[in-house]
Structure 1
């Protein structure tokens, strides 16, 4: 029924294997000039992709997408929105361990 409604509106659908999507503020990441990983030079999005195996393409198990400014602008941290919990945004301090971040976000590996 949903597919018919989309087709009638002229919209197409594309399948994805994502269980959720993480929106990572690009502006916060840029202000930190990295801030994550073993040497503190990796952006949060890149570190999460490496840890979780997620990516931008739709065939990954979750999507990690850098977006423009989310408007929170914390000092020394990056803002993340988990699409599975859109009412609860996370502020991730620089240099925090990626495994702790994954655990706090309750993401399945």
Structure 2
């Protein structure tokens, strides 16, 4: 066995997010616009992770992991591998912008000042006019 050579593979990863598979299975969805997606799928969609840029070639990976032994009710455990001491307990229906922020992820989207009819100087995430409007009224 000692005669085997170790090999490595290069990646372009800057962030790796691990989402508990057991929590996801127990919750059976709970995320996304219709509440029918797992946290893993909703985050991938929200962060616009493209199929061709996944795996080793993507900069950001969201993948399932074995149980973290936290087992919250009505929530899923996730962690940014760069911050392993901070497990995030994400309640069903949580705002994905907040999840992204709490995980310390940067997908290039920035906060944009809300318009005059949204309270003036308040900051709101910019995903399009409808999202800004919903965020300021919700």
Normalization by structure 2: what TM-score?
Answer: 0.69
Q: Deviations over 1:29-65 (max 9, x none)?
A: 1111101001111000001111123475111111111
Aligned-partner Cα distance in 2 for 1:34–1:11: 39
Contact 1:53–1:60 (CA under 8 A) maintained in structure 2? no
Gaps of 5+ in 2: 108-138
The answer to which of 46-55 and 95-104 deviates more is 46-55
Partner of 2:88: 90
Gaps of 5+ in 1: 1-7
Partner of 1:13: 8
Which one of 31, 38, 42 corresponds to residue 36 of structure 1? 31
Aligned-partner Cα distance in 2 for 1:102–1:15: 25
Normalization by structure 1: what TM-score?
Answer: 0.86
* Higher radius of gyration, 1 or 2: 2
Which one of 56, 59, 77 corresponds to residue 58 of structure 1? 56
User: What is the Cα deviation at residue 20 of structure 1?
Assistant: 1.6
Structure of greater relative contact order (alpha carbons < 8 Å, 6+ residues apart): 1
Runs of 4+ in 1 over 4 A off after TM superposition: none
CA RMSD in angstroms comes to 1.7
The answer to which of 50-59 and 78-87 deviates more is 50-59
Aligned-partner Cα distance in 1 for 2:45–2:57: 15
